[in-house]
């Protein structure tokens, strides 16, 4: 990999300017803001008192807050009874694309996209073949034709990613791909956890914010949902490293475009409040009586075990069909 960023066509130049901010001045880092964000979280957790300790005790000693738990803020029923994750064509294609991008960074684009995807497929297909719920089992159950089609689709996405993303020179940026980030709060009773797809870090150490957080998406855009996830990752990185990201972005691989947000303190404070709302909900619903649950129907009902027996979900479906006669919730 060379020492210069190769911007040999307009798409790469747009990405370098709009997402990477290549050659642009960086905003000041603000350790005091990071300390304020952590203090606000700690103070907020302190208001839950013994209820937080009891909730953590019922969850193996710690309350785990993830992007999925925060998604389920929409409904107490969904928070309590989410359906187990199921492999399907679209989400497996996304998983394999993420893994291919990760491998491509590690191998510095040393092979063509199809060969990279073939190695990813083999690695995942042999990882846990005996587990009926595993990705390995799902991959191994595909027909030869389906496996070839899926590999072709993933290779196409990786090729599209390569076309827009130039190789990143090591002297200027260090890429951390799919690395878990954990932040412990409340004397360990609460753990914030996430796996940002891509964190780009400058080797320069000064008083500037020089970290970029990128979330890769291969499915259809869900703007509000995607922003919430991304901001949670940005907060995690800030708390874990003690340094602010200068920017965070969702990159839509299929479209070759990014939605970008630059550093703003108020955005991170809003995300802190959302995290506290998530903890508050988890504390409230743990052991709650059915009559005390706050149920809200919506598109998320299909991800909830209660869907078939829930009056709120049924009413949401009825209202949706009235307004969208040919659609489904």
DSSP states along 130-186: T-TTSHHHHHHTS-HHHHHHHHHHHHHHHHHHHHHSPPPPTTT-EEEES--EEEEEG
Is the pLDDT score of 240 beyond 70? Answer: yes
pLDDT per position as a tens digit, 1-36: 456 789 999 999 999 999 999 999 999 999 999 999
Instruction: Look up the pTM and report it.
Output: 0.93
**Counts for the chain of helices (H) and strands (E), in that order:** 12, 8
Is the pLDDT score of 193 beyond 60? Answer: yes
What's residue 329's pLDDT?
A: 54
Quote the percentage of the chain above a pLDDT of 70. 98
pLDDT per position as a tens digit, 26-75: 999 999 999 999 999 999 999 999 999 999 999 989 999 999 999 999 99
What's residue 321's pLDDT?
A: 86
What's residue 2's pLDDT?
A: 52
| Distance in angstroms (rounded) separating the CA atoms of residues 13 and 16 | 5
| Distance in angstroms (rounded) separating the CA atoms of residues 216 and 254 | 10
Question: b vs e for 115-153, b when ≥16 Cβ sit within 10 Å of the residue's Cβ?
Answer: ebbbebbeebbeeeeeeeebbbebbeebeeeeeeebbeb
Residue 103 CB-density burial (10 A; 0-12 exposed, 13-18 middle, 19+ buried): middle
3-state class of 292 per DSSP? helix
DSSP states along 174-230: EEEES--EEEEEGGGTEEEEE--SEEEE-S--SSB--EEEEEEE-S---HHHHHHHH
| Distance in angstroms (rounded) separating the CA atoms of residues 204 and 173 | 9
């Amino acid at each position: 990999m060379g020492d210069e960023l190769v911007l040999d066509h307009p798409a790469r130049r747009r990405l370098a300017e709009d997402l990477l901010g290549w050659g642009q001045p960086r905003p000041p880092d603000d350790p005091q803001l990071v300390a304020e964000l952590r203090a606000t979280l700690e103070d907020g957790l302190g208001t839950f008192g013994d209820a937080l300790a009891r909730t953590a005790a019922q969850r193996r000693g710690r309350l785990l807050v993830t992007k999925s738990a925060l998604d389920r803020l929409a409904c107490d029923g969904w928070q309590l009874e989410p359906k187990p994750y199921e492999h399907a064509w679209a989400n497996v294609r996304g998983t394999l694309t993420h893994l291919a991008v990760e491998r491509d960074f590690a191998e510095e684009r040393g092979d063509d996209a199809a060969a990279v995807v073939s190695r990813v497929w083999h690695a995942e297909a042999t990882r846990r073949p005996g587990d009926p719920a595993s990705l390995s089992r799902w991959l191994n159950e595909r027909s030869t034709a389906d496996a070839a089609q899926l590999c072709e689709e993933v290779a196409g996405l990786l090729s599209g990613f390569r076309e827009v993303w130039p190789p990143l020179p090591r002297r200027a940026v260090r890429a951390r791909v799919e690395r878990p980030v954990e932040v412990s709060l409340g004397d360990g009773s609460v753990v914030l956890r996430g796996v940002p797809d891509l964190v780009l870090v400058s080797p320069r150490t000064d008083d500037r914010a020089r970290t970029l957080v990128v979330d890769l998406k291969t499915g259809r855009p869900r703007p509000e949902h995607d922003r919430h996830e991304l901001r949670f990752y940005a907060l995690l990185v800030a708390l874990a490293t003690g340094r602010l990201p200068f920017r965070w972005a969702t990159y839509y691989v299929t479209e070759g475009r990014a939605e970008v947000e630059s550093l703003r303190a108020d955005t991170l404070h809003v995300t802190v409040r959302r995290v506290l709302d998530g903890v508050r909900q988890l504390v409230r619903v743990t052991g709650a009586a059915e009559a005390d649950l706050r149920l809200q129907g919506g598109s998320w009902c299909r991800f909830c075990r209660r869907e078939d027996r829930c009056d709120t979900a049924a009413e949401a479906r009825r209202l949706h069909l009235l307004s969208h006669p040919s659609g489904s919730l």
